[in-house]
Structure 1
Amino acid sequence: MSTGINILMYHQVGDFAPMKGHRSTYCHHKRFARQMAYLARFGYTVLSMDQVLACLRGEMPMPPKAVALTFDDGYENFYEYAWPVLQKHGFPALVYLISDLLGQPSSWFAADGRDTPPLMSAARVRQLHGEGVIFGSHTATHAKLSEQETPRIREEVTRSKATLEDVLGAPVHHFCYPFGSHDRRAVDAVADAGYLSATTCIRAPATVADDPLTLPRKAISYGDNLLGYFWRLHVKNAPKRASIRRAGETFDALTA
């Protein structure tokens, strides 16, 4: 019987030249296609985040080789490169959106001297929602929450939810901490806003012992060939830190 679910973290999927830096925010589309074919061929069960929560609550059996696919920031290249592959295999996906930046460039890349690829527009989000993509919140402005004052944290969390629900005409149940940055105030704000799950950048499988508002994930990098992909799915991770909400502690940003 399985004891955990690998929640995989992607960012961009596209046609990228070889790179040395920031590799965790890129995945070449050919490698992505091979990774999804690997999951299909070798009997992995790709779960939606709602199914992940059901497994962790004991409401449905946890498959022996369970994964979930998440995509941070909501890049337009998800539509061109990732979604057709996911549709081919019938895999669900959860895309986290930055509500105030729909249809705009990913401006934070400029600080590193990188190109600023476009984020999905509201029209694209509605289109993909109609095709089966699930969307979650990645705050309103992509802020590092643990570095903000408490009122700003709550505004980022609640406004993004309201904006995205207006765009989609549907509830938004899932949240992702930008840069993995979270502390007790952020987790409490997410809980008070009514989200059912929230993901971090803590590298480990999700288990029944995890708080659903601080779920771990495993980042997929530009350099991950199939051997590296297998390693990420099966390597035994170091022990995780205790859940913020259960332990009652506050700590600084945790990043990939």
Structure 2
Amino acid sequence: MKNNISVLLYHQISDRLPPDSNPDCFCLKSKFIEQLNFIKEHDISVISLEDAELKLNNPLNKPHHKSVVLTFDDADIGFYDIVMPILSDYGYTANLFVPSAFVGKKSEWSVHIGSHAPIMDKNQIREAYDQRIHIGSHSHSHSKMNKISPNNLYKEINTSKILLEDIISDAVNEFSYPHGVYNNDVINLLRSAGYKRAVTCNAEIYRNPRDNFEIPRNYITSEDSIIDFRAILLRE
């Protein structure tokens, strides 16, 4: 097995798929636990995005030891109520991306009614940070980055960073592109604002640490069986 890393993309984790919801943005709790059991049984390391970069940059790393990064977009209340206790039981970390304008409110960006979930509030985000969850930005208003003016683009990137850093009293170094949309202007502004890496929705394996603002991720949804999950996780 080559020295590469699977970065997984989750949205909401719930006990059941809500009506009128987008199945691409959900994973059942039972399936999520099954997936974590697979990771544990196969001795796969769960690491952060920062540690993934360090691992790929270090030529002394064991080339045959598989690692995975768990990332969650949107910071809906299900992450706090369902995911955090499960991750704590397994001793696993994750990267959580928060749309800062919706902290303590309901999401407004989805056309699927069932996806209008409450977003974690400041205290819950801080509690997640204290539980070794890495907090990143999912922009300010969850807008498509290539569809807004330069002034608003700066606000989306910089305001979110400032607000989230105020919540956790620490640096926010990672960014997740809303809807997976970005371009070179967005990447340049992220660099200028002080971000160190960003994740996409490009379904590939993370191999090249020099592409830190185009880190690929693989969607995990309610449609995926454990066989699908295995194929995503163990492919080279």
Counterparts in 2 of 1:60 and 1:75: CA distance versus 1, 3 Å? farther
| Superposition pairs of residues 1-256 of structure 1, within 5 angstroms | 2-17=2-17, 22-58=22-58, 61=61, 64-109=65-110, 111-208=111-208, 210-235=210-235
Shift of 1:208: 2.2
In the alignment, residue 82 of structure 1 is paired with which amino acid? Answer: V
Q: Percent identity?
A: 27
Shift of 1:17: 3.2
Structure-2 change in CA distance of 1:160 and 1:213 (3 Å): same
| TM-fit CA distance, 1:234 | 3.1
Deviation at 1:82, TM superposition (A): 1.1
Name stretches of at least 5 consecutive residues in structure 2 with no aligned partner: none
Give the whole-Å Cα distance in 2 for the aligned partners of 1:167 and 1:32: 28
Return the letter of the residue paired with 2:128. L
Q: Aligned partners of 2:117, 2:159: CA distance in 1, in Å? A: 24
Partner AA of 2:25 in structure 1: T
Distance 1:18 1:148, change over 3 A: closer
Q: TM-score, normalised by structure 1?
A: 0.86
2:182 partner letter: H
The offset of 1:210, in angstroms, is: 4.6
Q: Which has the higher contact order (CA 8 A, sep 6+)?
A: 2
In structure 1, what is the Cα distance between the partners aligned to 2:76 and 2:94?
14
SS at match of 2:109: helix
Letter in 2 for 1:179: H
Describe the superposition over 1:74-124 as per-residue Cα deviations: whole angstroms up to 9, x where unpaired. 011011211111111111111000111101111122x33435110100111
Residue in 2 aligned with 1:245?
Answer: none
Query: Residues 145 and 226 of structure 1: is their aligned pair in 2 closer, same or farther, counting only changes over 3 Å?
Result: same
Aligned to 1:27, the other structure's residue is in SS state strand
Cα distance between partner residues in 2 of 1:115 and 1:18: 8
On the 8 A contact 1:55/1:62 being kept in 2, the answer is no
User: Which residue identity is paired with 2:173?
Assistant: H
Structure 1 Cα separation of the partners of residues 60 and 156 of structure 2:
33
Secondary structure at the counterpart of residue 68 of structure 2: strand
Structure 1 residue runs of 5 or longer lacking an equivalent are 237-256
Question: Are the counterparts in 1 of residues 201 and 217 from structure 2 also a CA contact under 8 Å?
Answer: yes
Partner secondary structure for residue 70 of structure 1: strand
The residue matched to 1:190 in structure 2 has which SS?
helix
Mapped partners of 1:46, 1:158: distance in 2: 29
Q: How many residues align?
A: 235
Counterpart residue type for residue 142 of structure 1: H
What secondary structure is seen at the aligned counterpart in 2 of 1:140?
A: coil
Letter in 2 for 1:124: Q
Q: 1:20 to 1:105 in 2, by over 3 A?
A: closer
Partners in 2 of 1:142 and 1:210 — Cα distance?
A: 26
